[in-house]
Amino acid sequence: MFRISGITRTTLVKWISIVCVLVILLVSIGCGGSSTKDQQSNDLFVTPVWHSAAEVKAYTDQHLSEAEAIYQRILDVQGERTLGNTLVPYNDMLIEIDRVDGLSDLVTYVHPDATVREAAEESYERAEKLINDIKLDHDLYQAVTSVPAKGLDTETERFYTLLLRDYNRAGVNKDDTTRQQLAALYEGIVSTGKEYKRNIDEDVKFIEVSEDDLIGLPADFIESHQPGENGKIKITTDYSDYATFETYSAREDLRKELYIKYMQCGYPVNDKTLKELLDLRYQYATLLGYSDWAAYWAEDKMVKTKEVITDFISDVAGMAQPRMMNDLSELLAEKKLEFPEADTVYAWDASYYTQKVKAEHYGVDSQEVRSYFELSEVKEGLLGVTQQLFGVTINKLQNPDVWDDSVEAYDVFDGDQFIGRFYLDLHHRDAKYSHEALFMMSTGVQERRAAVACLVANLPGPGTAAEPAFLEYIDVVNLFHEFGHLMHHLLANKSQWVRLDGISGCEWDFVEMPSQLMENWGRDPDVLSQFAKQYQTGQPITRELVDKILQAEGFGRGLFLMDQMAKAKMSFVYHNQDPTNINLLDIMKEIKKEYSPYPHEDNTYFYDRFTHIGDNGYSSAYYTYMWSLALVKDVFTVFQANGLMDKRTAMSYRHKILEQGCAVDAADMIKNFLGRDYSFDAFERWIQE
Ligand SMILES: [Zn+2]
């Protein structure tokens, strides 16, 4: 997933959650660079780390006041409107807001101090409010449209075109009353979306078990789950606990109990919150003249219309259905070995029996696999691959200023040029964002600002030399995924116009392309062998084991695809109607009946914990993951032909796609890289292979 900053979009999005891994190759991640590099990073680096609510407020006041002052100066211009007196300061104003909104969004989700989180949330809402005011200010719009469009260079023309499109999609040409209504609705959408997600994050549930109940679980999991004062061991619905328990626990009753708890996080409070959110989005879209939010949200994506989305979902589901049935019968056969009378595979069986099928049919023992993925080795590996592939240098900061001791900071250089900083906040804490995501803290602008981002995850660890932390293979792939987003964000800094830089202005159904593409490096035997070493023996992972992992990974593809399409359909259908009398539960059950491999379990409410729906970037567009994956399959054919570490291919990809930000339409970027229009042929072959 991935979070995005809102300033550049007419939308409401602040982040991208993503999954990625780190591979290490050649580069040392030792301590900081030369003094020249330090100096450059000081010049460009402007995003602070907040430690108190007072700091949050002072910083926010400073930059939003500056933005407002620029705003006023643009309005006050007398005489002829020019690039210099209108568009250039407009860009400066956006940059001032960008200083606040991405950072405050992150802090809202990760800061250990509740007062800082609350102050940051207020900052975020203030920034969003200002963005909204700007988008709906007819005088400002008039000022922008009075700049002669003739004679602008290509990049400026692109900025200008997108700006006008943003204005139109925001409703700047509506009458005063309507614009006031739109502003109020927008504000409501932002705060209700936050509330929906907070309700999930703060509703951590748990089950209590005894030591004997931990049968099947890995030793390090048992080690890190000691009994409390009542002699019971707490297993929570936090993702790292949940995923491990569902995968390994041999106790069906306990897997079921935890599954039900997990599917109740956010319930029932989010019933009301989600309905409110759907209603606000519907009102917003219809006031702008669209039939519903799904239509509004599709318009500025690659798909352009919602009909393309419905066709895509049903096409993918149609192709995946037979494969899902095969997967399901394999899981049932596996379950029957334990329970000969069994006739149904339940949701809480899926990970457990999938893991068993992988171990028994493909010879993949997840616990053996984990022993190759010690966290610090994986991190170094990922950093190395990233450096080699994209030609950048990454230096770890010693004693960085951070919000929690477990957080690490890294500076990224392109040659001698400092281009950005990223933080790794990888481990679980109470009240922290409970999924994986890349938060874009600030957008890089050519020769002016460094890009800053934070990768947030909830991995085991950090571990110590005596007690190292190990990752599941899927976590490794997920880290590669998130690094794909990260490099996209850091490298898209070539334009002077912040609207064109970074990821946030890209078509949303394209943004999961670079991230999912990068997962492929986490699946390559040569790449993996450079950092995946068996913890006790130091032996690198063998090609045979990687092949087995990949074959095993292929198992369950039908289940995965159908599950993804079920989620895509849910997110779409909830937004594809007037929500006044919507029955969230009935719709979910209906969709599950058609798409889900597993029967619905009473007392579970996935729609109340479906983070992507609350997120204003994804909302009705969960299909974007699969759409982007379809693009990945096409783009990756070039790397397959030329070699994954082929410098020329990687640099061509970097220049023609990653660096472009949204200076070019996604379809054209891909065309420039491929030398032809994109196609979904490779994706179809992958579904059916
Ligand atoms: Zn992602």
pLDDT at 453: 97
Q: Is residue 358 part of a domain?
A: no
pLDDT at 268: 97
The reply to whether 77 and 155 lie within a common domain is yes
Q: Which of 575, 479, 567, 590 is nearest to 527 (CA)?
A: 479
pLDDT-based confidence at residue 17 (cuts at 50, 70, 90): very low
**Considering its fold, how many domains does the chain have in total?**
3
Q: Is residue 279 part of a domain?
A: no
The reply to whether 55 and 156 lie within a common domain is yes
CA 441 to ligand 1 center in whole angstroms: 16
pLDDT-based confidence at residue 39 (cuts at 50, 70, 90): very low
pLDDT at 430: 85
pLDDT digits (tens, 9 = 90+) for 456-510: 999 988 888 888 999 989 999 999 999 999 999 999 999 999 999 999 899 999 9
The reply to whether 164 and 45 lie within a common domain is yes
Ordered DSSP codes for 585-637: HHHHHHHHHHH-SS---TT--GGGS-HHHHSTTTTT-TTHHHHHHHHHHHHHH
CA 479 to ligand 1 center in whole angstroms: 10
Strand partners, 427: 459
CA 612 to ligand 1 center in whole angstroms: 11
The reply to whether 217 and 147 lie within a common domain is no
The reply to whether 161 and 100 lie within a common domain is yes
pLDDT-based confidence at residue 45 (cuts at 50, 70, 90): low
Print the domain residue range for 643: 632-688
* Residue 89 pLDDT greater than 90, yes or no: yes
pLDDT at 201: 86
How much is the average pLDDT of 248-254? 96
Q: Is residue 384 part of a domain?
A: no
pLDDT digits (tens, 9 = 90+) for 646-678: 999 999 999 999 999 999 999 999 999 999 999
Give the CATH number for residue 70: 1.20.1050.40
pLDDT digits (tens, 9 = 90+) for 218-236: 988 999 999 999 999 999 9
* Residue 41 pLDDT greater than 80, yes or no: no
pLDDT-based confidence at residue 36 (cuts at 50, 70, 90): very low
CA 302 to ligand 1 center in whole angstroms: 17
* Residue 538 pLDDT greater than 90, yes or no: yes
The letter for the amino acid at 456 is V
CA 688 to ligand 1 center in whole angstroms: 24
* Residue 178 pLDDT greater than 50, yes or no: yes
CA 622 to ligand 1 center in whole angstroms: 11
pLDDT at 363: 86
CA 475 to ligand 1 center in whole angstroms: 13
pLDDT digits (tens, 9 = 90+) for 585-638: 999 999 999 999 999 999 999 999 999 999 888 899 999 999 999 999 999 999
Contacts of 557 (CB under 8 A, 6+ apart): 320, 323, 327, 687
The reply to whether 165 and 208 lie within a common domain is no
* Residue 38 pLDDT greater than 60, yes or no: no
* Residue 6 pLDDT greater than 80, yes or no: no
pLDDT-based confidence at residue 43 (cuts at 50, 70, 90): low
Of 133, 152, 173, the one marking the end of a domain is 173
The reply to whether 169 and 208 lie within a common domain is no
Of 157, 173, 189, the one marking the end of a domain is 173
CA 6 to ligand 1 center in whole angstroms: 17
Q: Is residue 525 part of a domain?
A: no
Q: Is residue 89 part of a domain?
A: yes
pLDDT at 18: 32
* Residue 315 pLDDT greater than 60, yes or no: yes
pLDDT at 62: 97
| Range of weakest confidence among 27-36, 302-311, 328-337 | 27-36
* Residue 15 pLDDT greater than 60, yes or no: no
Residue 556, phi then psi, degrees to nearest 5? 90, 5
Alpha helices in 339-451 (DSSP H): 347-361, 366-370, 375-390
Helix%, strand%, coil% for the chain, nearest 5 = 60, 10, 35
The reply to whether 78 and 120 lie within a common domain is yes
CA 517 to ligand 1 center in whole angstroms: 10
* Residue 682 pLDDT greater than 60, yes or no: yes
CA 304 to ligand 1 center in whole angstroms: 21
- CA 659, CA 94: separation in Å to the nearest integer? 20
Q: Is residue 543 part of a domain?
A: no
pLDDT at 364: 83
Q: Is residue 406 part of a domain?
A: no
The reply to whether 137 and 228 lie within a common domain is no
Strands 417-427 and 408-414: antiparallel
CA 516 to ligand 1 center in whole angstroms: 7
Q: What percent of the chain has pLDDT over 90?
A: 82
pLDDT at 251: 97
Chain centroid offset of residue 95 CA: 23
Q: Average per-residue pLDDT in the chain?
A: 91
How much is the average pLDDT of 501-521? 95
CA 202 to ligand 1 center in whole angstroms: 23
pLDDT-based confidence at residue 2 (cuts at 50, 70, 90): low
CA 658 to ligand 1 center in whole angstroms: 15
How much is the average pLDDT of 412-440? 92
CA 190 to ligand 1 center in whole angstroms: 21
CA 203 to ligand 1 center in whole angstroms: 24
Chain centroid offset of residue 649 CA: 25
CA 514 to ligand 1 center in whole angstroms: 8
The reply to whether 221 and 111 lie within a common domain is no
The reply to whether 83 and 165 lie within a common domain is yes
> Is residue 124 classed exposed, middle or buried when 0-12, 13-18 and 19+ CB atoms within 10 A define those classes?
buried
Global pTM reads: 0.88
CA 486 to ligand 1 center in whole angstroms: 10
